[in-house]
């Protein structure tokens, strides 16, 4: 409702950086893992433009960690991850979809192996902790599972390397993509990964001491002034261009990894027996009934679509838009659509419901969205 207020409570936890985010003029929030996640500062378009040109600091503490610690931590990690983590290396990050017994995706976290017997699963927006605890208890595994005091802070944008080198030293430039390493911040070691929810490059700092939050933010902010640093957040325009999917928007428990294009992250032909494997092998054999596609939508600049909109062919419903937005770099409206498999082919013409009435759309591969944007820059 217009003018409604959101009243924080213990159900909506603050982050170590909440005071700084509030002071810098956040204009909108969403709720993510029982916490507040900023969605816009200046405007969706201004935030997008700045992210592509300079550097931003993002409070992404909502990426909570599910920690596995103990002799059976590795066994449990391999059991819950649809991606084979058998040979996971310490210091590496792995995109690791997690499925239920029916093959439906229940989370798509980043798995970090911190030690032989220690993992962090940096989760998307769904409760994973109780699921993992239930599996461990039911099987009598020797592993402790908890949500540790870890709050990621992301530095994203073209000047991210320069800024991070100023704060943590030149060695940080050597960290490879989806690798992490511990760096000292005023005597405290922090795990820092080259990762983040954008295609602009950057890092995620895994702060494991809430009391250091404001001090860490302020130190980065001071060094970032010469790079025109701003507070930011994951940006709808940039993520759709980049083909980055959002759990709860572009996929949920009604979908499987095969339907949303994550086949390469699902180890159906390995020897590891993960939860949901048999169901996914059956689906691969029988065939999927729907598929997530990229879509280009005709018409004038459309408002962001973050709620489902019907997609039809010759008046028959064939699916829905999951996310869509106007891309300045592409010069048009682009998004994602979940489409019936029989209609999910490149070049298919569809009609999309919108505030301005039905608009023509063309289906494409999701990866093509990024390539098309790059070619138009």
For residue 32, give the CATH number of its domain.
3.30.1360.120
Instruction: Give yes or no: residues 55 and 77 share one domain.
Output: no
Query: Quick one: 234 and 178 in the same domain?
Result: yes
Whether residues 72 and 45 share a domain: the answer is: no
Does residue 359 lie in a domain region? no
Q: Are residues 116 and 219 in the same domain?
A: no
225 and 196 share one domain = yes
Same domain, 233 and 161: yes
> Could you tell me if 195 and 74 lie in one domain?
no
CATH code for the domain of 99 = 3.30.70.1400
Domain enclosing residue 208, as ranges: 18-63+150-239
Quote the number of domains for the chain: 2
pLDDT value of position 10:
74
- pLDDT at 377 (0 to 100): 57
Q: Is 131 inside any structural domain? A: yes
Whole-number Å distance between alpha carbons of 211 and 232? 22
Backbone angles phi, psi at 206, to 5 degrees: -90, 85
In a domain, 327, yes or no: no
Within 8 A by CB and 6+ apart from 184, the residues are 168, 190
In order, the DSSP letters of 138-187 are HHT-S-EEE--S-EEEEEESTTHHHHHHHHH-GGGGGPPBTBEEEEEETT
Examine the domain organization and report whether 71 and 199 are in the same domain. Answer: no
Q: 214 lies in a domain?
A: yes
Asked if 189 and 159 sit in the same domain, the reply is yes
For residue 1, the model assigns a pLDDT of: 36
Q: What is the pLDDT of residues 101-132, one digit of tens each?
A: 999 999 999 999 999 999 999 999 999 999 99
Query: CA-to-CA distance for 334 and 327, rounded, in angstroms?
Result: 7
Q: Domain check: are 59 and 87 in the same one?
A: no
* Residue where one domain finishes, among candidates 171, 205, 239: 239
Look at residues 224, 205, 215 and name the one whose alpha carbon lies nearest to residue 166: 224
CA pseudo-torsion sign 44, 239, 196, 77: positive
Asked, for residue 343, whether it belongs to a domain, the answer is: no
- pTM reported for the whole predicted model: 0.94
Residues 6+ apart with CB under 8 A from 172: 161, 164, 165, 181, 183, 192, 203
Q: Do 120 and 221 fall within a single domain?
A: no
Tens-level pLDDT at each residue, the chain (377 residues):
344 456 667 788 889 999 999 999 999 999 999 999 999 999 999 999 999 999 999 999 999 999 999 999 999 999 999 999 999 999 999 999 999 999 999 999 999 999 999 999 999 999 999 999 999 999 999 999 999 999 999 999 999 999 999 999 999 999 999 999 999 999 999 999 999 999 999 999 999 999 999 999 999 999 999 999 999 999 999 999 999 999 999 999 999 999 999 999 999 999 999 999 999 999 999 999 999 999 999 988 888 887 889 999 999 999 999 999 999 999 999 999 999 999 999 999 999 988 778 899 999 999 877 677 666 65
DSSP conformation class of 225: G
Examine residue 167 and state whether it is found in any structural domain, yes or no: yes
Q: Is residue 363 part of a domain?
A: no
Residue at 2 is within a domain:
no
Task: Please tell me whether residues 50 and 128 are part of one structural domain.
Answer: no
């Amino acid at each position: 409702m217009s003018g409604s207020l959101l009243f924080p409570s213990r159900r909506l936890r603050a982050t170590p950086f909440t005071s700084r985010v509030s002071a810098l003029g956040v204009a909108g929030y969403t709720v993510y893992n029982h916490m507040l996640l900023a969605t816009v500062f200046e405007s969706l378009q201004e935030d997008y433009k700045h992210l592509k040109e300079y550097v931003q600091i993002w409070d992404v503490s909502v990426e909570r960690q599910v920690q596995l610690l103990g002799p059976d931590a590795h066994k449990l990690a391999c059991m819950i991850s649809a991606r084979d983590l058998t040979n996971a290396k310490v210091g590496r990050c792995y995109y690791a979809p997690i499925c239920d017994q029916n093959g439906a995706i229940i989370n798509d976290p980043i798995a970090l192996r911190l030690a032989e017997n220690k993992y962090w699963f940096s989760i998307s927006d769904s409760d994973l902790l109780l699921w993992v605890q239930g599996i461990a208890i039911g099987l009598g595994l020797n592993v402790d599972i908890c949500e540790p005091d870890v709050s990621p802070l992301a530095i994203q944008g073209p000047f991210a390397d320069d800024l991070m080198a100023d704060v943590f030293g030149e060695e940080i430039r050597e960290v490879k993509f989806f690798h992490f390493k511990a760096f000292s911040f005023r005597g405290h070691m922090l795990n820092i990964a080259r990762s983040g929810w954008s295609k602009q490059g950057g890092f995620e700092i895994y702060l494991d001491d809430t009391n250091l939050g404001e001090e860490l933010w302020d130190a980065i902010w001071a060094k970032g002034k010469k790079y025109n640093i701003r507070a930011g957040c994951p940006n709808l325009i940039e993520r759709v261009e980049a083909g980055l999917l959002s759990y709860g928007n572009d996929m949920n428990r009604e979908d499987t990894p095969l339907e949303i294009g994550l086949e390469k992250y699902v180890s159906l032909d390995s020897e590891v027996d993960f939860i949901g494997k048999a169901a996914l092998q059956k689906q691969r054999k029988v065939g999927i009934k729907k598929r997530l596609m990229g879509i280009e939508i005709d018409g004038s600049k459309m408002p962001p679509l973050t709620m489902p909109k019907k997609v039809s062919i010759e008046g028959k419903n064939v699916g829905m838009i999951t996310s869509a937005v106007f891309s300045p770099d592409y010069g048009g409206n682009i998004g994602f659509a979940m489409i019936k498999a029989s209609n999910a082919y490149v070049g298919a013409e569809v009609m999309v419901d919108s505030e301005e009435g039905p608009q023509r759309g063309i289906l494409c591969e999701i990866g093509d969205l990024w390539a098309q944007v790059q070619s138009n820059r």
